[in-house]
Amino acid sequence: MEIVTLKIEEIKAISNGEHGDLFSVLGLHMVNVEGKEKLVYRFYRPNAKKVEVIPESGKPFEPKRITEDGFFEYLFPRRKKKFSYQVKVTPYEGEEYTIEDTYRFGSLVSDFDLQLWGEGNHHHAYKWMGAHTKSVDGVEGTHFVVSAPSASRVSVIGSFNSWDGRVHGMRKHHDQGVWETFIPHVGEGDLYKFEVKSHMLEMPQKKADPYGRFSEFRPGTASVIWNSSYKWSDEKWVDERAVNQHHDRPISVYEIHPGSWKRHVGEDPGFLSYRELADELVPYVKELGFTHIELMPIAEHPYDPSWGYQITGYFAPTSRFGNPDDLRYFVDKCHEAGIGVIIDWVPAHFTKDDHGLRRFDGTSLYEHEDPRLGEHKDWGTCIFNFGRTEVLNFLISNAIYWIEEFHIDGLRVDAVASMLYLDYSREEGDWIPNQYGGRENLEAIHFLRRFNEVTHDYFPGVLTFAEESTSWQGVSRPTSSGGLGFDFKWNMGWMNDTLAYMETDPIYRRYHQDQLSFSLIYAFSEQFLLPLSHDEVVHMKQSLLSKMPGDDWQKFANLRLLYTYMYGHPGKKLLFMGCEFAQWSEWTEAHSIDWHLLQWENHKGVQNLVKDLNQAYITEPALHEVDSNWEGFEWIDISDADNCIISFIRKGKNPEDFLVFILNFTPTLHRSYKIGVPLACEYESILNSDSQFYGGSNAGPVKVQGHTGAWHSQPAHIKIEVPPLAGVILKPK
Residue where a domain stops, chosen among 178, 198, 224: 224
Domain membership flag for residue 453 = no
Stretch 340-351: mean pLDDT: 98
pLDDT of residue 649: 98
pTM over 0.85? The answer is yes
Q: Is residue 664 part of a domain?
A: no
| Gap between the Cα atoms of 487 and 466, Å rounded | 8
Whether residues 194 and 118 fall in one domain: yes
- Residue 200 counted as domain residue: yes
Considering the domain architecture, whether residues 92 and 39 belong to the same structural domain is answered as yes
- Which helix (H) or strand (E) segment holds residue 132: the answer is strand 130-136
- From residue 46, alpha-carbon distances to 15, 156, 168, 466 in Å are 8, 15, 11, 52
- Residue 72 scores a pLDDT above 50: yes
Mark whether 131 and 180 lie in a shared domain. Answer: yes
The reply to whether 33 and 129 lie within a common domain is no
Query: 135 and 92: one domain?
Result: no
Per-residue model confidence as pLDDT tens digits over 226-240: 999 999 999 999 999
Rg (CA), the chain: 32
The secondary structure of residue 580, as a DSSP letter, is: G
Specify the DSSP element, H or E, that contains 722.
strand 714-722
Is 695 in contact with 606 (CB distance < 8 Å)? yes
| Number of domains composing the chain | 2
pLDDT category of residue 201 using cuts at 50, 70 and 90:
confident
Do 188 and 90 fall within a single domain? no
Q: CB of 712 within 8 A of CB of 718?
A: no
627, burial (CB in 10 Å: exposed 0-12, middle 13-18, buried 19+): buried
Q: Over 90: is that where the pLDDT of 729 sits?
A: yes
Is 464 domain-assigned? Answer: no
Q: Whole-angstrom Cα distance, residue 182 to residue 104? A: 10
Instruction: Give the pLDDT confidence of 2-61 residue by residue, as tens digits.
Output: 678 999 999 999 999 999 999 999 999 999 988 899 999 999 999 899 999 999 988 999
Does residue 1 register a pLDDT over 50?
no
> In this structure, is residue 155 part of a structural domain?
yes
Indicate the average pLDDT of the chain: 96
Please write the tens of the pLDDT for every residue from 617-634.
999 999 999 999 999 999
> 17: domain range?
8-103
Q: Are residues 50 and 74 in the same domain?
A: yes
Report whether 166 contacts 184 (CB < 8 A): no
Instruction: Please check whether residues 138 and 181 belong to one and the same domain.
Output: yes
State pLDDT tens for residues 635-662: 999 999 999 999 999 999 998 999 999 9
**Inside any domain, residue 387:** no
In a domain, residue 281? The reply is no
Give the model's pLDDT for residue 2: 64
Residues 71 and 144 in one domain: no
CATH code for position 17? 2.60.40.10
Is residue 467 within 8 Å of 412, Cβ to Cβ?
Answer: yes
Per residue in 74-92, pLDDT (tens digit) is 999 988 899 999 999 999 9
Which runs of consecutive H residues, i.e. helices, occur in 289-388?
A: 324-336, 371-374
Same domain, yes or no, for 132 and 38?
no
Co-location of 59 and 95 in the same domain: yes
- The pLDDT of residue 266: 87
Catalytic hit among 414, 443, 620, 637: 414
Q: How far is CA 293 from CA 284, 500, 572, 726, 729, in A?
A: 11, 27, 13, 28, 26
Q: Is 414 a catalytic residue?
A: yes
Query: Are 184 and 137 contained in the same domain?
Result: yes
191 within 8 A of 157, measured Cβ to Cβ: no
Given 409, 467, 620, 637, the catalytic residue: 467
Domain boundary among 164, 195, 224: 224
118 domain-assigned: yes
Instruction: Give whichever of 9-13, 266-270, 312-316 has the largest mean pLDDT.
Output: 312-316
Chosen domain end from 224, 240, 273:
224
Geometric angle at alpha carbon 394, from 155 and 121, rounded to 5°: 115
The rounded distance, in Å, linking the Cα atoms of 17 and 25 is 14
